[in-house]
Structure 1
């Protein structure tokens, strides 16, 4: 397979103290099945939809703390060079570039406002085997209190062009690779509690957002926002039973015209 362009979202994983609980929850909500835990890689466990890899879950390492959270990985052909660009742009490298067997190489980084993300240089593992269909990854947004910092930082690390939506009621930008949208940037409003840190919100595709929201509730998750219908689909945001934030979207339920955008960079 041809290497995905630098900055393309290519993978998502999350750490859960209760791995079996996470597997049961996402299996119920998204129809995921799970492979064997890779003991040599900290019991890293891939999730599958229709037999194709869509994400992964992993337990914390002994003595490792922190709350559960989904991490989005962005493609790079040279993870060490990408890590240097992170530093040069004012971000921090939380996990130095490291090889993961024959699967590839990775790093974990943070933007100046605190948004954590991964960088993935593909080897045998090239990323999502399925996306943009029910049960798989569909979109992601940098959810931050400093969109100006994000809109400056990320294009210095990856070759994004930034376009801002023309709407005084929302602080939203789209990062594109060429003409293909890759990632969104959303300002955290005053209604977001101060204790909620900035993060990348990962969206998984569903066929019916309202029905999926009911599955989330029944499985012990919590609705945070929505469901809301937009020009891009009907979506809602949640927190799973272990505190990991995620969103669900039904693109087929989109209504209205896409908003106007202006070029930022």
Structure 2
């Protein structure tokens, strides 16, 4: 079997595994919807007033997308790796032609599909419920794909290093929550202390949020953000694939 055939078979198996976990399917799509209803509808934005949500609705589109781009790969890939370790599946995987990078690529492709569907739902709801004036562009697609690959690599690292599935969940939440709110997503940089603003550039999610915001608001200059994400994605995907155990 060729590499394409191996990756395709592993992707199909991972997709069916996701669909069998109905709770995971439900909350993958339900969680970002809840955030939109709370922040976009109940709280709302006040472009001419004070408070946290002082920007236009379109400003927060990258934040809503970041929820699934960040949380879904970290939790799904991390938990899958931990579950495979506990079930001694990597020992069985080592006896097959499927390599560790191919296995991780298959997991990444499934997450791209899941997050792509969730992203379309999010964009539709944001426009419908908040009246956000967004520019739809295919440029958003590479931002999502590259970022998913990046955080799948991080998820693989967490799953390989944590001692249990509970440990993966705790580690992913501890990493994801600060990144979500301190990466130029929901909180504008000028609302944070001046000394902290350069620190935001350490977060990969910052480049996703800034790049996507530039695209959906019809701006220019998103290319550098995408290049940075591509470099980080290659690095973390390689580290994640390398960290995957050969045996359990």
TM range (shorter): under 0.3
**TM-score scaled to structure 1, two decimals?**
0.26
**TM-score scaled to structure 2, two decimals?**
0.28
Task: Return the structure number with greater helix share.
Answer: 2
Task: Return the structure number with greater strand share.
Answer: 1
Relative contact order, higher structure (CA 8 A, sep 6+): 2
- Choose 1 or 2 for highest CA Rg: 2
